Structure 1
Amino acid sequence: MANALANETSPYLLQHKENPVDWRPWGPQALAAARERDVPLLISIGYSACHWCHVMERESFEDPEIAELMNELFVCVKVDREERPDVDAIYMDAVQAMTGHGGWPLNAFATPDQVPFYAGTYFPPEARQGMPSWRQVLEAISAAWRDRRAEILEQSARIVERLEGGARLAPSGAMVDPGMLDDAVDALRQNADPVNGGFGRAPKFPQSSAIELLLAHGETTVALDALRAMARGGIHDQLGGGFSRYAVDAAWVVPHFEKMLYDNALLARAYLHGWQVSGEPLLRAVAEDTLDWALREMRGPEGGFYSALDADSEGVEGKFYVWSLGELRSALGGDEALLATAVEWYGASERGNFEGVNILVRAAGSAPEPPELPEIRRRLLAVRDRRVRPGLDDKRLTSWNALTIAALAEAGALLERDDYLDAARAAAGFLLTSVQDDDGRLRRSWKDGRATLPGYLEDHAYLLEALLTLYEATFEPRWFAAARRLADITIAQFGDDEQGGFFQTAADHEQLVTRRKELEDTPIPSGQSAAANGLLRLSRLTGEAEYERRAESVIALLHPLAANHPQAFAHLLRAIDFQQSEVHEVAIVGPAESAAPLLRAVRGAFRPHVVLAGAVDSAPGAHADDASAVPELLEGRHALDGRAAAYVCERFTCRAPVTDPDALLRLLG
């Protein structure tokens, strides 16, 4: 018999609908039940592609005796951390404070007033390796609630104060140290792995924001080393494209096989920028195969993008992706020459060994691909496509779709690929029609024709950045108008007028144990940093001081933390880098034919300190009637003698217009 999760849309919650645990979704009914029964909340948080979430479900949540104990002692609540990042963040803060580490599955025990008093991650069905069994945890927590409730409640006030975290921060009043960006880059350089690329030791995460910061600030060696290493490793799907979430080893060989949309969107842009900086064909190829994978495997029929592919298939992590030598030989038709090339190129017998099977990794160095490789890849893909595929989380999350729109739009403009631009347009149109409410506010998630849950700061801020990128790629005024409206809504609903910065949840969001502010840019940029970057760029297109003031309030709040923890605040440091740099505002107007060389000049190099506006005759609606759809940067700009002209400005003070690409490059420096 299904539990209360049967009516949910989240694939993760639906995975648990047949559990004998009386799971409830997070909401007022679950909270009321805990108060009425006078028992703690057991809040279990995970996501559909989480391997250890599946393991704990099989071991404990499907066990009738353990489920009966859970139902008797607690009100059990299942939370999809991707749909409810607000709830996840509160209890993740709690588990990290209590244990010094975090992760998923996250299992927290809280009072009926939502205050956590014990939390952990995975617990086995039987005690082992110093970990208590799940049954022991359940019984101990219930006994503590029965016998030591006064002590638990007394601690609640201190716990809530700690959970408020960033919401209690006030601006320091100190000016941004001009040398902090150099210091941050130096700290990232020192933390880089000079042997394997990337940062730190195993497990290794992609750290896209840190790579982008290094590229923007001119430190290319560490950034390119990381990009090359990941491109060659098992974390990069050498056959089908795209990246797994992280590698369990320092050399990027053995991935944790789940593929997340957000990682791939962020990495596609990092590889695109790496190619712009270096000109290396490998980096461009990886950017394209990542976006091609997203278009092929992650796009829904309405134009939105799915959230994730599971790590597991047939209950085994990575089974879809790994090969035995016998499977390789069979897939290649017994052709020993092709097998030898595959083993040499993909390192299938040495570098990629994983529990007796092989993960394909790319040959080291810059040797050209062997001519047989396309045929090898075609045959292996044909066999792999017949395997049982990993599970698909097909909900469309607004923020992750926004990251994908930005990647597709920028790549489409730089690489002149209309398919990328069309996909970006379609996804943006989907969000603005199917996920945006009549009042302009965004919903968090969409699935099966239903947009659900109020959007968070990251949904609004990521989409602001994405719409500006799509405008700069197409010069279509509808995207600029939507970005301006979204910026105003973000400020009104999420802005903190007292301390500065932005809250994670809107002013009218349901009341949780605390109203938090996102701070760190890990594993993806925080809503704070995205808002700061988007508003700074918008201010340079419009001249609107309020956008700049709001962005600077984020910087004022967080720059002391960012100075000491650059890896955790890399996207915020991008905003500081933009704020502190000489930014060129470029307006290009005129016929498409003569505008094209000017646009190629601007886009031909990585220019993180340029904003771009245009009225190019081929852009749909290039001359919009609605004034709010046209950046103020375009006011008074016109073609010269029938030829497209480029205006290079700094805070709306412009040089004489030019029509020659070489002259434009000289102005850009």
Structure 2
Amino acid sequence: MPAPAISAITWRDWGDKAFASALSEGKPVLLSLTATWCHWCHVMDETSYSHPTVIELVNQRFIPVRVDVDQRPDLSARYNQGGFPSLAFLDTDGRIIAGKVYTPPDEMIKLLEQVSTDYSEGKRLAPTYSTPSRSTTARKQGATQGPVLKRLEELYDTDFGGFGDEPKQPPFEGAWFLLSLYQKNGEPRLKQIICRTLGGIVDGLYDLCEGGFFRYSVSRDWKVPHYEKMLYTNARLASTFLQAFQVVGKSAYKNAAVGTIDYILNNLRDSSNAMFWASQDAGEEYYRLPWKDRYTASKPSIDTTIYTGWNAAAASALLHAFGVLGQASYLDKALLVLDTLWAEFDRDRGLSHVVGEPAGRPRFLSDQVHALTAFLHCYQITGNPDQLERAKGVMGSINRLFSASDGGFYDVMSEKDSEGPSLVGVRPVLENALLAEAFVMLATITTDNAYLDVAKATLEAFTGVVPGSSYLGPQGLRKVEEDEERLFAPAASAWARAMDMAESGPVSLVVVGDTSLGATNALVRASLKATTPGRVIQILDSVDQLDVVKRLGFPANEAPAVYLCIGNQCLAPIRSPRELSKWARPGALTSLAN
């Protein structure tokens, strides 16, 4: 991340040269973790890092390194101190000596002097990491949801919705988990939690003027937002509200989703390449203006970095919107994003973190997982087998580059791929859960149970840390993610949802028919609208894909039909959209699932 012009600190990039200087000069490294969208990062730049005494101390006694946490999520996960900005003091091996979040000038001066003195006197005590043991307690099938659901119920805010106290984060993973349970069993209490939570998010975080959601709320009642708008957050919330509209049926959820997608398209889309920018700055003064003044005021700045994973999430949201709402432009824009990502794909090295970045930069699991999921969604929406082959290609690179020998997948490519000290291995629950869902989808679509075996093994690797922790690895890392897990359990929610999908089997909707016929396309549209949490859809053209239809055991010469199954139990062929819609109601498939 470029150093601010107002600062005279000689910031360096993370890499071997910085740590070599730390070793040769006998100085600790001061690592500043910051972000373009972070309000308090800007404040610290303008105050602490611009104070003459701080500048002098940092330049003389430390090796200052500055990192954008969006550019290097691996460093953020290992060195953040519980928020942003974070400053971490490191020894020459990259181990933490001390750390703190936002620090005003007077406190900063004292901290710099203390760390410098202790380091020069040999008093640096880097934390000793220990890896938590995994539980070997046997679990009964179907019991995996219990502890996670109980945890969410304990955290649930009955007054304002959401989970935990302040600050309030929009819990899209928790909402998807509860939506999947409600779709399955139709329990009214789950609907109540979902609706109160989503209502609070819309009332407090949705920008009624320009659309889109602010990142989070400082207050418990959602009414005091932190005003930055993130591509990833908005993409995931758009999908969440679309999913809630499908399951619950409230038009307000559809309106919020459409307004959010409009915000992304109008404000974060690069018209020159059809990709999406990362975020829009907080701009607190701007967002507090009357609407009429906002139309003429300078808008908050935009980070124009194009992140692979976040663009894949945006493509998934657009595909979801096309499936639910039928607007062809959403599909067209999603396809442009996915074509660009596929052009960037390297079978030997996977996908880069930033689109178009040079070789030699680290590759992250999160980017691969979101791209894989988007290609799978595209296959389910379009029936285009090329999208399935793309998904398989990404899956293959994930297996080669990120897998751990004892289960699960690392957050960074397993071989050392960038400069700087070697980083300790971390296996994040959230990305592994999303990956396991993709494995289950592939198993369902291809009928290859090898994918299902990997999904179950991946999820089983985390049984000793869920719920409660966001990762498997040395203790004391991922402080932001650990705080989030304590507040609203996003990783545990994704894990429980994936585990239920792996153990119980997804609801499979296979549309078989000649796609040139209106009757087939009517069933396709109805299936897309009915594709709620835990459902996998497959569109098979009985003419062009006759061999696949026969291989999967479906009749090829009958009238168009939808075959709805859970595991090995199937309904009779469904031949009308109206008949299919009744099986999309919450709790409708309870008898079949049992």
| Equivalent residue number for residue 60 of structure 1 | 48
Which residue does the alignment assign to 2:454? Answer: 550
Is the 8 Å Cα contact of residues 578 and 608 (structure 1) preserved in structure 2? no
CA shift for structure 1 position 178: 2.9
1:161 aligns with 2:86: no
The equivalent position to 2:499 in structure 1, one of 573, 576, 592, is 576
1:514 aligns with 2:488: no
Cα distance change, pair 407–572 in 1 and its aligned pair in 2 (3 A): same
For the 8 Å contact 1:440–1:485, the answer to whether it is kept is: no
Tell me the equivalent position of 2:475.
none
Aligned to 1:540: 444
**Secondary structure, counterpart of 1:646 in structure 2:** strand
CA deviation profile, 1:508-552 (whole Å, cap 9, x unmatched): 2347443332435xxxxx221221111121111112233222221
Bigger Cα Rg: 1
Whether the 8 Å CA contact 1:405–1:466 is kept in 2: the answer is yes
- 1:465-476 equivalence runs, <5 A: 465-476=373-384
CA distance, structure 1, for counterparts of residue 455 and residue 201 of structure 2? 33
Q: 2:100 corresponds to which letter in structure 1?
A: G
The residue aligned with 1:369 is none
Which of 356, 367, 380 in structure 2 is aligned with 1:459?
Answer: 367
Partner in structure 1 of residue 285 of structure 2: 319
Q: 1:174 to 1:608 in 2, by over 3 A?
A: same
Question: Contact conserved, 2:214 with 2:227, CA < 8 A, in 1?
Answer: yes
Deviations 1:166-225 (A, max 9, x none): xx6546262356334144324323322222121222211101111111111112210111
Query: Which residues in structure 2 correspond to 1:22-41 (within 5 Å)?
Result: 22-41=10-29
For residues 354 and 105 of structure 2, what CA distance do their matches in structure 1 show? 33
Mark the runs of 5 or more structure 1 residues left unpaired by the alignment.
1-12, 96-101, 127-132, 313-317, 329-379, 521-525
Q: How does 1:231-630 map to 2 (within 5 A)?
A: 231-233=202-204, 235-300=205-270, 301-312=272-283, 318-323=284-289, 328=290, 380=291, 383-433=293-343, 435-437=344-346, 439=348, 441-446=350-355, 453-497=361-405, 499-510=406-417, 512-520=421-429, 526-563=430-467, 567-568=489-490, 569-592=492-515, 593-605=518-530, 607-616=532-541, 623=544
1:140 paired to 2:114:
yes
CA distance in 2, matches of 1:29, 1:553: 40
Q: How many residues align?
A: 554
Q: Which amino acid aligns with 2:286?
A: F
One-letter amino acid of the counterpart of residue 345, structure 2: Q
Partner SS for 1:319 = helix
Query: Contact 1:268/1:291 (CA < 8 Å) preserved in 2?
Result: yes
CA separation of 1:638/1:428 partners in 2, compared to 1, >3 Å: closer, same or farther? farther
Note the C-alpha offset of 1:667: 7.2
Q: Is the 8 A contact 1:638 1:645 kept in 2?
A: no
* Partner residue in 2 for 1:117: 97
Cα distance change on mapping 1:90 and 1:564 into 2, 3 Å = closer
Residue type of the alignment partner of 1:230: I
Equivalent position of 1:181 in the other structure = 145
Is 2:561–2:574's contact at 8 Å kept on the other side of the alignment?
A: yes
- The question of whether the paired residues in 1 share the 8 Å contact of 2:468 and 2:489 is answered with no
In terms of mean alpha carbon deviation, does 397-406 or 189-198 score higher? Answer: 189-198
Instruction: Name the counterpart of 1:374.
Output: none
C-alpha deviation, 1:48, in angstroms: 0.5
In structure 2, the residue matched to 1:9 is none
Q: Secondary structure at the match of 1:265?
A: helix
SS of the equivalent of 1:612 reads: strand
Name the CA distance, whole Å, in 1 between partners of 2:459 and 2:315. 26
In 1, Cα distance between equivalents of 2:550 and 2:398:
22
- Report the CA distance between 1:595 and its aligned residue: 1.6
Give the match's secondary structure for 2:113: helix
Give the letter for the 2:11 counterpart. Answer: W
Q: Which amino acid aligns with 1:429?
A: D
- TM-superposed CA distance for 1:446, in Å, is 2.9
Give the Cα separation in 1 of the matches to 2:511 and 2:228: 42
- Structure 2: distance between partners of 1:425 and 1:647: 27
CA distance in 2, matches of 1:421, 1:79: 35
Residue number in structure 1 paired with 2:36 = 48
Q: 1:665 to 1:280 in 2, by over 3 A?
A: closer
**Tell me, what secondary structure is at the counterpart of 2:378?**
helix
CA drift at 1:23: 0.5
Whole-angstrom CA distance in 2 between matches of 1:178 and 1:653: 17
Aligned to 1:213: 177
In 1, the alpha carbon distance for the partners of 2:282 and 2:5 equals: 20
Q: Pick closer, same or farther for the CA change 1:555–1:634 going to 2, 3 Å.
A: same
Normalising by the residue count of structure 2, what TM-score does the alignment of the two structures yield? Answer: 0.87
For the residues of structure 2 that align with 1:244 and 1:633, how far apart are their CA atoms?
A: 49
Where 1:172 maps in the other structure, the secondary structure is coil
Match of 2:194 in 1: 223
Deviation at 1:17, TM superposition (A): 5.7
Q: Secondary structure at the match of 2:275?
A: coil
Any conservation in 2 of the 1:409–1:473 contact (CA below 8 Å)?
yes
How far apart, in 2, do the equivalents of 1:665 and 1:540 lie? 22
> Could you tell me which amino acid in structure 2 is paired with residue 446 of structure 1?
V
**Partner AA of 2:493 in structure 1:** A
Q: Where does the alignment leave 5 or more consecutive residues of structure 2 unmatched?
A: 183-189, 470-487, 590-594
Aligned to 1:202: 166
Change (3 A) 1:611 1:16: same
- Give the equivalent residue in structure 2 for 1:190: 154
Aligned residues of 2:22 and 2:92 also touching (Cα < 8 A): yes
| Corresponding position of 2:483 | none
Distance across 2 between alignment mates of 1:171 and 1:444: 33
Give the superposition deviation at 1:605: 3.6
- Cα shift readout 1:451-481 (whole Å, capped 9, x = no counterpart): 8723211111121112111211111222111
- 2:53 & 2:154 partners in 1: Cα distance? 52
**C-alpha distance in structure 2 between counterparts of 1:658 and 1:211, whole Å:** 30
Retained in 1: the 8 A contact 2:235–2:317? yes
Asked whether the equivalents of residues 180 and 563 of structure 1 are also in contact (C-alpha less than 8 Å), the reply is: no
Name the CA distance, whole Å, in 2 between partners of 1:464 and 1:636: 27
* TM-score (normalised: structure 1): 0.78
Residues 48-92 of structure 1, C-alpha deviations (whole Å, 9 max, x = no match): 000111011111223344222211101110011111111111112
Distance 1:513 1:452 in 2: 15
1:14 Cα shift?
2.0
Question: How far apart, in 2, do the equivalents of 1:63 and 1:559 lie?
Answer: 48
How high is the sequence identity, in percent, across the aligned residues? 27
Q: Residues 244, 294 of structure 1: CA spacing in aligned structure 2 closer, same or farther, 3 A cutoff?
A: same
Shift of the 529–279 alpha-carbon distance from structure 1 to 2, 3 Å rule, reads same
